[in-house]
Structure formats: structure tokens, C-alpha cells
Structure 1
């Protein structure tokens, strides 16, 4: 039972952190992971690549990409060799948003602080 209560505390701390993160940056943690993966990429990348890099399911990655595109943080383009292939990259606004992602603006729950040292 102790383990289950400990896990509940971790989930509560994560939920609180996610709420604060989303309120501060107007994006979710999953969206932020995709933006960071795009920032680290040296060129345009596919949804499959992003799904593998972030370990999000392909369907969830697709949903996050659609939301980020609607927010104007990423753009998609067709492949030049295979027009069925979609590639994604940050917009200037998306690039700026990634640069702004610092944890000094967010209070980290006590339980999670050891992860940020």
C-alpha cells in the first residue's frame, strides 16, 4: 500500500507541475517535448521521428502536431521526393517559445525537485 500512496503523491505533483507549466507557457508538456525535439533537429523531421524521439504514440504525436500548427508554433511541408511524406519544423514564434522554456518561472513541487538538480 505504501508504494501506491507514494505513486499517488508523484502523480499529484506532476499534475500540479503540468497545470503551472501550461498556465505559464500556454502549451502542455507534451507539446513542449515536441517543440524541444524540433529545436534539437538539424533539419525538418517527420512525425514518425518525433514520435520515436518523444516516446509518444503516433496518434498522440499527430494530435500534438496539429495543435502546435494551429498555435502557429510549427509548420508542415511536403517532401520534395515523396509528396506523401510530411515534414515539420519550428516557426520563428515556435523557436522563440522554446527559448523561453525555463523552469525558473515555475515553482517545482517539492517531491519533484530532486529531478531538476
Structure 2
């Protein structure tokens, strides 16, 4: 019995990794490019997030939390996006030390293409699934994420 449970846990991890690989390969096959600058998947996700919450004050800490990224990784990524002209850092009124992130003109011009790509991937992933199956998937995924967070903290 223990062996079966242990194998099942390993299979979950392998299946998640396999699905992740399929998604990455699919995205890579249709890479969004900006005049010779290939955009990373994370750049695209951050652009989509900033666009979705464009009327709010999104700061680096929000990106760190949303994407479960370390501070140093987030800092490097945002600096790179700023250098590529995709985002801008703007001081907020209440505290000039805090910089909110916003899409630049160039970043805004790529949002529609990024959104279409995300929608394409979502449609592909959810093809043939019922609303109930999708809701159950997200409930299970949330439980798994909470389990992983317990082990990290």
C-alpha cells in the first residue's frame, strides 16, 4: 500500500512537469517578438498582469507575490523589461521612494498580441472540459499550492 501511494505522488509531479513542458513547447513555437527582441513567457505574463490592473498601483512586491518570485529575480526581470522599453517605473504621490509599474507605449502595443496568445493557450488547455472539471482542477491546484507553501514556510 505504501509503495502505491508513493508511486502515485511521484506520478503527480511527473504529470505536472509533463504538462508544463507541453505548454512551454507550445508557447515557444509561437514566440511573440518585438522587432528582434524575443519576449520571454514571464515578460508576457507581467505585461498581461499590468494591463489587467492598469488602474491600480502595482509595485515590484505585487509582482513578487503574484508570480511567487524572489526579490532579486523580480528586480532583474523588471530592470530588463524597463531597458527593453516595455514598462516604466513611476513615483507614486504618497511616497516618492515607491515606484509603481506601468506599461510603456511599447508595452501597451504588445498587450493585445499577448492577450490573444494567453487566450489561445487557455482554450487549448480547457478544450473538452466541463465547467465542473475546470472548477475542480482549480480547487485541486489551490490545495497543492497551499501544501507546497506549508513546506516552504
Is the CA contact (8 Å cut-off) linking 1:33 and 1:54 kept in structure 2? no
Q: Which residue of 2 aligns with 1:113?
A: 124
Distance 1:20 1:7 in 2: 20
| Pair member with larger Rg | 2
| Higher-RCO chain (CA-CA 8 Å, sequence separation at least 6) | 1
Number of residue pairs matched by the alignment: 111
Q: Which residue of 2 aligns with 1:54?
A: 67
* 1:63-112 residue CA offsets vs partner (Å, 9 max, x unmatched): 221111111011112233322211110011101101112239x7x6xxx9
CA-based RMSD: 2.9
1:1-117 counterparts in 2 under 5 A?
Answer: 3=11, 6-21=15-30, 23-25=31-33, 26-41=38-53, 42-101=55-114, 102-103=116-117, 113-115=124-126
Counterpart secondary structure, 1:75: strand
**Alpha-carbon deviation of 1:54?**
3.1
Distance 1:17 1:114 in 2: 11
Distance 1:116 1:76, change over 3 A: farther
- TM-score between both structures, scaled by the size of structure 2: 0.58
Distance 1:45 1:5 in 2: 34
Distance 1:116 1:56 in 2: 30
Is the CA contact (8 Å cut-off) linking 2:32 and 2:113 kept in structure 1? no
Where structure 1 has 5 or more consecutive residues not aligned to the other structure, the ranges are none
